[in-house]
Each structure stands twice: as structure tokens, then as C-alpha cells.
Chain A
């Protein structure tokens, strides 16, 4: 034990924050990213387990179809599974992760003396990493589904029409960009809530609804539904997904500025 009294002259007259080693801006942002990934169960194991469960249920359904329907009807029925939305769950899960991050993890991050900007930039990195890793997993599963001829039953879960059947990089792009879209839409709604609470969310929802209704009205009045359908067909999944990058990036920027003045609850 030392005999130094804490009040003794250990205090320099120039009270400036010492430049800490781990206070390097990039380190802090990277650590903010890790903060979102620290619980592996939440970001990987649980969603993958649920995805596995959904896959099992689908497998059972395909088996029942195979067992009860014969001939051409069976081929028809199994072709129908390419419209399956069974894997959509994982995208919604991504949205929920982002909402939770901007709410709970945000409050925790400020408790650890991160700035809002560091937290948001770090979280964005985490979302990109998650989107990429899920993109890789889903792409791999789509190939597995092809090679096993629909898990031996002709079913479609990871090769449904929304994801296309292009080369690997295209599938990775579609899965990853879709993931990013849901992540940053979720993050944006999370930041709106943190900044303006429920009223902010209600107004944002009302504006979005107005925008969609307006677009629908415009398309209907100009009788352009044919054109819209044509656009979807000619653009293909990768073309449509490429367009989502615009709202994704806009949401990303908006979230940054909205959160930079937000205050956690409690």
C-alpha cells in the first residue's frame, strides 16, 4: 500500500483529456460494431435455428405433397414452391435486430461513453457484416438446394423466384442487399423513435403511407400498371434489388443525422 494521499499534487495544472490508447476514433467505432455482435446467440445461432426449423416444416410439407399428389400435378405443385416466402423471416429478423440496436444497444453504448456518431457508424459496420455473412450463408444454401434437387423433394426455399438463379455473386448481391435494406429501414425507424418517440414514428408511418398511396394513385390514374409489371420483369431480381440500394443508403444517412441528437430513454 502506498502512502500517497490522493489529493497530493498528482494533478497537472493543464487539465486536458489524456489521449488514450484505445480512444483512437477507428478503434472506438470498430468496438461499437462489436457491441452489436457480442451476443452470438442473438445475431447468429437463434435466427439460424429458427430458419432451420422453418426449413424442417417446409420439408415436411413437401414430403406430404410428394406423398399425396402424383404425376403432373406433383410437378406443378412443387414448381409452385418457387413462390415460397419461407426465408423472408430472416430478413424481418434483421430489421428487428436493427430496431433493437438503435434502442437498447444505443442506451447501453452511451452508458459506455460512446458518442452517438461512433455508435451509429459502428452499428452500420455491424449491419454490413451481418448482411454479408447472411448473404454468404443463404447463397450457399441456395446452391445446396439446387444440387440436392430441392432437398430430394423438388422444393424451393432458397431458390425462390425473388432471389433469381444467377451466378454466385448475383445471388450474394441479392441476399446481401435485401438484408441491408431491411437493416437500415429498421435502423431508421429505431432512430426516429429515439429522437421523437411514438409521435415521430406515427408521423413517419403516416408520411410513408401517403407516399405509397400517392404512388399507387398516380400509377392507377395514368393506367401504368402494365409498365410497372414490365419494369419488374425486365429488371429481374437483381435489378429490383439494385434499386433498393437507394432507399437503403438514404435511410442510412438519415439515421445518422437523426440519431446524432437523440437521447436514450430512462
Chain B
């Protein structure tokens, strides 16, 4: 679940984001505590706290004093938008660039994608 290549707090933040996007963590619902995350992923609680705090800084989670951490309203839409932006930067742009190198025009590319979509 946790890989060796990247800081754990980044991976924890991404896990929570994934859960919000998938809907298993609904907006305005309480998220597990830092210690629960730490126990579940078997990681240092300070590291888990760092991951959670990053989402608080991004406005995805917010703190209710004395109660705990909650998913912010609109968090899911914002996360999906952010992921879409990242998807465009990380996958679509290199894809188009590579296609252009090989002389594949956008129509052909689009055809290839829909064919793949059918078989996949």
C-alpha cells in the first residue's frame, strides 16, 4: 500500500483524496483521526499528521475544535478538477507531443483512443 519511493505523508494525503473522490469519505463527514490513520497504515503518527495537515492547508479537510477532522464542502469537485488538471499535464500533453512526433493527427489519435476504449 505504501511504497518506498515517496514520502509517506504524501501517500497518506493521496489515499484520503482517493477515498473522497471514490465517495467512501463523504463531504461533511468525519475522517478518521491521525492516530487511527497511523494505526491502520502502521506508520508514525507524526507522519500521518503531516499528511492530514497538508489536506487541511489545501482546504480539503477542516478541523472542528475538540471533535476532529471533517471533509470540506465541495472538496470532491475540487479534487476531481485538480486531478483532471494533473491528468492533462502528466498524460494528455506528453501523449499529444509524442503523437505529433510520430505524425499522428488529433483525429487519428482520437480514433485510437476510442478503439482502445472499446477493447479495454
List residues of A whose CB falls within 8 A of some B CB: 1-8
**Docked complex: B33-60 residues within 8 A CB-CB of A:** 33-36, 45-46, 48-49
Is B71 at the interface (CB under 8 A from chain A)?
no
Q: Determine how close the nearest CB of chain B comes to the CB of A22; give it in whole angstroms.
A: 28
Measured in the bound complex, the distance between the Cα atoms of B49 and A4 in whole Å is: 9
Q: Which A residues are CB-close (under 8 A) to B46?
A: 5-7
CB pair A5 B45 closer than 8 Å:
yes
CB pair A1 B33 closer than 8 Å:
yes
Q: Which B residues are CB-close (under 8 A) to A1?
A: 33, 35-36
From B33, B35, B49, B68, contact of A7 by CB (8 A): B49
From DSSP, what is the main secondary structure of chain B's interface residues?
Answer: helix
Ranked 4 nearest A-B pairs via Cβ: A5-B49, A7-B46, A3-B33, A6-B45
Q: Which A residues are CB-close (under 8 A) to B69?
A: 3
Q: Determine how close the nearest CB of chain B comes to the CB of A51; give it in whole angstroms.
A: 55
State the total of A-B contacts with C-beta under 8 angstroms.
22
Measured in the bound complex, the distance between the Cα atoms of B49 and A171 in whole Å is: 70
CB pair B49 A2 closer than 8 Å:
no
Pairs across A and B, CB under 8 Å, 16 listed? A1-B33, A1-B35, A1-B36, A3-B34, A3-B35, A3-B68, A3-B69, A4-B34, A5-B46, A5-B48, A5-B49, A6-B45, A6-B46, A7-B46, A7-B49, A8-B49
Q: Which A residues are CB-close (under 8 A) to B36?
A: 1
Q: Chain A residue with minimal CB distance to B46?
A: A7
CB pair A2 B45 closer than 8 Å:
no
Q: Which A residues are CB-close (under 8 A) to B48?
A: 5
Q: Which B residues are CB-close (under 8 A) to A2?
A: 33, 35
Max count, chain B CB within 10 A of own CB: residue among A2, A5, A7: A5
Measured in the bound complex, the distance between the Cα atoms of B34 and A5 in whole Å is: 7
| Known pairs A3-B68, A5-B45 / 15 extra A-B pairs, C-beta < 8 Å | A1-B33, A2-B35, A3-B33, A3-B34, A3-B35, A3-B69, A4-B34, A5-B34, A5-B46, A5-B49, A6-B46, A7-B45, A7-B46, A7-B49, A8-B49
Measured in the bound complex, the distance between the Cα atoms of B48 and A1 in whole Å is: 15
Q: Determine how close the nearest CB of chain A comes to the CB of B69; give it in whole angstroms.
A: 7
Q: Chain B residue with minimal CB distance to A6?
A: B45
Measured in the bound complex, the distance between the Cα atoms of B46 and A2 in whole Å is: 13
Q: Determine how close the nearest CB of chain A comes to the CB of B56; give it in whole angstroms.
A: 12
Q: Determine how close the nearest CB of chain A comes to the CB of B51; give it in whole angstroms.
A: 11
**Docked complex: B62-114 residues within 8 A CB-CB of A:** 68-69
Q: Which B residues are CB-close (under 8 A) to A7?
A: 45-46, 49
Measured in the bound complex, the distance between the Cα atoms of B36 and A5 in whole Å is: 11
Q: Chain A residue with minimal CB distance to B36?
A: A1
Q: Determine how close the nearest CB of chain A comes to the CB of B50; give it in whole angstroms.
A: 8
Q: Determine how close the nearest CB of chain A comes to the CB of B68; give it in whole angstroms.
A: 5
Measured in the bound complex, the distance between the Cα atoms of B69 and A3 in whole Å is: 8
Q: Chain B residue with minimal CB distance to A8?
A: B49
Q: Determine how close the nearest CB of chain A comes to the CB of B41; give it in whole angstroms.
A: 15
Q: Chain B residue with minimal CB distance to A7?
A: B46
Max count, chain A CB within 10 A of own CB: residue among B36, B49, B68, B69: B49
Q: Which A residues are CB-close (under 8 A) to B33?
A: 1-3
Measured in the bound complex, the distance between the Cα atoms of B36 and A221 in whole Å is: 85
Measured in the bound complex, the distance between the Cα atoms of B35 and A1 in whole Å is: 7
Q: Determine how close the nearest CB of chain A comes to the CB of B71; give it in whole angstroms.
A: 15
Measured in the bound complex, the distance between the Cα atoms of B36 and A1 in whole Å is: 8
Q: Which A residues are CB-close (under 8 A) to B49?
A: 5, 7-8
Q: Determine how close the nearest CB of chain B comes to the CB of A4; give it in whole angstroms.
A: 8
Measured in the bound complex, the distance between the Cα atoms of B49 and A1 in whole Å is: 14
Q: Determine how close the nearest CB of chain A comes to the CB of B66; give it in whole angstroms.
A: 9
